[in-house]
Structure formats: C-alpha cells, structure tokens
A = this chain, B = another copy of it.
Amino acid sequence: MSAQPVFVLVRPQMGENIGAAARAMANFGLERMRIVDPRDGWPNPKAKAMAAGAGRVLDAAQICDTTAEAIADCTRIYATTARERGLTKAVLTPEAAMTEAAAACAAGEKVAVLFGPERAGLENADIARAGAIVSVPVDPAFPSLNLAQCALLMGYEWRRQSATVEAPRAAGPAASALEIEKLGDHYEETLERAGFFFPEKKAASMRLSLRNMWSRLPLTRAEVRILHGILRQVVRWKERG
C-alpha cells in the first residue's frame, strides 16, 4: 500500500455513517481510518453491516480517545468543515488540499484529514490542531453534506490528485502533530507563568490563537527545536535575574 492519508472520524455518532464512510474510502482505494471516541462504542455492528465489502477498512481502524492521540504521528493535518470559523487559517478546496496532500505523502509526510461529528461538526479545539481547513464548495442555500458524502468527495479528490504527483523538495523533516502539541504546551505553560494571557476574559481566545498558529505553520523538526530553545533560554535569562 503506497502512502495515503489517514481519515480521522472525530466523535462520530451513528454506526451507519461510520460504515458508509468506510465504503466511500474503499471506493477510492483509501484504507486507513482512525476513530476518535465513537459515541456508541466499538466495534459497532451497524457500522459493519453498512460497510459491507469495505469491512476490512473498519477491521483495521484504530480507535483513539482524543483527536490529539489520533493525529500524533501525522505531520500535515486538514480539518473539513462546512461553516465559517473565527480561526485564522487557510481555507482550501478539496482539490487544492488533496493536491498538497498527494505531494506531501509522496515526500514521506503523514497526512490526516479530520471529519467532525454528524450534527455539530468539528470543535474549534480540533480545528486549531489542523494546518488548514478544507471546505467543499456547496450551494450556501443547501450546504447539508453528511459525513460519508464529505469522505466520498475527499476520497475522490485524493484519487484524482494522487494519480500523478511529484514530491516537492522539503525544508527538512516536518514536525509531527505530537511535537507541535508539545511545543504548544511549552509556550502555553511558560507564557502562563510570564503573565501573557491577560486580561482573563481574553485568555481562552489568546490560547486558541497561539495553538492555531503553531498548527498552521509548516514547521520542521529543527524549527521546533529552535522554538523550544528560544523559550528555554529566556527562562534561564529571567532566572539569572
């Protein structure tokens, strides 16, 4: 199996939709599903029944407790969402996103595509972990794509775009989502001590903006080390008094 993105279903509700998403993936040769905290537990007989011939996608699916865990080893994360979000993040078409993703996979990166729960969609905390948002250009008067339809369209574009790609030259090995998460933790903790998150009523949105920035930037591992180093050094400096 050549390199391909992981489809991450975040807190899916109905088993039928999980099964239909597995079928949609299989239609386009995608085999890697991860499921974050499925509402009705796992395994789910309704998912299995709906998946029919795509049952092996479900059999191989990894179940995770959190979105952070599901994307920990991935270096490039896309969040699918229908609505406008307040977050500062590029909004790509499925075509543009899967063109990038195909190039990234060819260059050895691990790509994840996040899909939200049926009704509510992804939460801002999930979206803040993504490098970019993907939005299907539906009619604003009737934008009611369901989970499996969204997976179908992303799978379709993946197959279209991955058919012929060249690997771009990278700036260096990309940082994984886990490394970005830890970088975010380091900054958040230190800045907390430094009194950065002030006034209190703005603190939550400042934290979110910061997480969003780290996820959005295409940081290499070396750059993550530099950014940790900067912070450690200013702390040392402060402590020397």
Asked whether any CB of chain B lies closer than 8 Å to the CB of A194, the reply is yes
Q: Tell me the A31-48 residues at the B interface (CB within 8 Å).
A: none
Q: Tell me the A185-216 residues at the B interface (CB within 8 Å).
A: 187, 190-191, 193-196, 209-210, 213, 216
Residue contact B27 to A139, C-beta cutoff 8 Å: yes
Residue contact A168 to B96, C-beta cutoff 8 Å: yes
The listed residue (B23, B88, B171) touching A223 by CB distance below 8 A is: B88
Asked whether any CB of chain B lies closer than 8 Å to the CB of A141, the reply is yes
Question: Which B residues lie within 8 Å of A23 (CB)?
Answer: 142, 144
Interface residues on A, range: 35 or more
9-residue interface stretch from A71-79, A117-125, A175-183, A231-239: A231-239
Q: A142-B26, A222-B209 are in contact. Are A156 and B136 (CB under 8 A)?
A: yes
CA distance A213 to B18 in the complex (A): 40
Question: Which B residues lie within 8 Å of A230 (CB)?
Answer: 187, 191, 196
Question: Which B residues lie within 8 Å of A137 (CB)?
Answer: 159-160, 163, 166
* Residue among A163, A194, A231 with max Cβ neighbours from chain B (10 Å): A194
Question: Which B residues lie within 8 Å of A29 (CB)?
Answer: 139, 141-142
Give min CB distance, A11 to chain B, whole Å: 23
CA distance A113 to B229 in the complex (A): 32
Asked whether any CB of chain B lies closer than 8 Å to the CB of A220, the reply is yes
CA distance A144 to B136 in the complex (A): 22
Question: Which B residues lie within 8 Å of A238 (CB)?
Answer: 234, 237-238
A54-B142, A137-B159, A191-B234 known; 20 new pairs, CB 8 Å cut-off, are A24-B149, A26-B139, A27-B142, A27-B144, A28-B139, A29-B139, A53-B142, A88-B172, A92-B168, A93-B160, A96-B168, A139-B159, A149-B149, A156-B156, A194-B234, A194-B236, A195-B233, A217-B218, A217-B223, A234-B234
Interface residues of A (CB under 8 A from B): 23-24, 26-29, 52-54, 88-93, 95-96, 136-139, 141-145, 149, 152-153, 156, 159-160, 163, 166, 168-172, 187, 190-191, 193-196, 209-210, 213, 216-220, 222-223, 226, 229-231, 233-238, 241
